[in-house]
Chains A and B, each alone.
Chain A
Amino acid sequence: EPEVTQTPSHQVTQMGQEVILRCVPISNHLYFYWYRQILGQKVEFLVSFYNNEISEKSEIFDDQFSVERPDGSNFTLKIRSTKLEDSAMYFCASRRSEIYEQYFGPGTRLTVT
């Protein structure tokens, strides 16, 4: 069964460094999402992406964040200058169309020191 994949599974970085989190959504899916989950808290929406552009973003998704679909398969989340409070599990999700459920990747645990 096709699944969403994410790399790396764990990333440790120093405050102020840039990180790129990578996702490969399910191949026939058209809508892509990034969520994050700070330890012990709710899963929170960051950004959605459709037709090669951002369709919606939350207040969390400020100028430090950007997303890109550089080719037909990868979907990336870049954090330009990481802060301690960016430490969280970052989940990528995708879905085929508006009426279908979202499928989540295994997540990248980002630790900012």
Chain B
Amino acid sequence: EDKVVQSPLSLVVHEGDTVTLNCSYEVTNFRSLLWYKQEKKAPTFLFMLTSSGIEKKSGRLSSILDKKELSSILNITATQTGDSAIYLCAVPSGNTPLVFGKGTRLSVIA
């Protein structure tokens, strides 16, 4: 059974801190790994990673995949209160439905 495990499950930081969120996966036929941000409702897409070692960056967020270690990290630098959310990691399974991890709940306090 395909599986995604995220750590930590929750994290509280102060504004300006840098955070690293972890995701590890077990999937039969790996194609990609996706990161989403979930605030009040829908997961919103952040990154899709397919190749090991190539960093994807968007503003203060960046992510990298390590296929050898079956894992990915999501970094957020200079955190702001607006970064408070649940960050979800997911991998496509079977004919591409996503298997999600439980998420990391990030709280950024002023």
**Bound: A48/B101 CA distance, A:** 19
A43 touches B88 (CB 8 A): yes
Chain A residue at smallest Cβ distance from B36: A104
Chain B residue at smallest Cβ distance from A40: B102
**Bound: A100/B93 CA distance, A:** 14
Chain B residue at smallest Cβ distance from A98: B96
Please, how many residues of chain A have a CB less than 8 angstroms from a CB on the other chain?
25
| Minimum distance in angstroms from B69 CB to a CB of chain A | 22
Inter-chain contacts of B82 with A (CB < 8 A): none
A104 touches B101 (CB 8 A): no
Within 71-110 of B, Cβ neighbours of A (below 8 Å) are at: 88, 90, 93-103
Inter-chain contacts of B103 with A (CB < 8 A): 42
Inter-chain contacts of A104 with B (CB < 8 A): 36, 42-45
A65 within 8 A of B: no
B-side residues, CB < 8 A to A, are 34, 36, 41-45, 48, 88, 90, 93-103
A107 within 8 A of B: yes
**Bound: A101/B49 CA distance, A:** 10
**Bound: A91/B100 CA distance, A:** 13
A31 touches B48 (CB 8 A): no
B100 touches A43 (CB 8 A): yes
Within 65-113 of A, Cβ neighbours of B (below 8 Å) are at: 89, 91, 93, 98, 100-107
A91 touches B97 (CB 8 A): no
A31 touches B96 (CB 8 A): yes
B34 touches A91 (CB 8 A): no
**Bound: A58/B93 CA distance, A:** 11
Given A48-B95, A55-B95, A101-B48 in contact, is the A42-B100 Cβ separation under 8 Å?
yes
Inter-chain contacts of A33 with B (CB < 8 A): 97-98
Inter-chain contacts of A106 with B (CB < 8 A): 41-42
Inter-chain contacts of A18 with B (CB < 8 A): none
Inter-chain contacts of B94 with A (CB < 8 A): 56
**Bound: A51/B42 CA distance, A:** 25
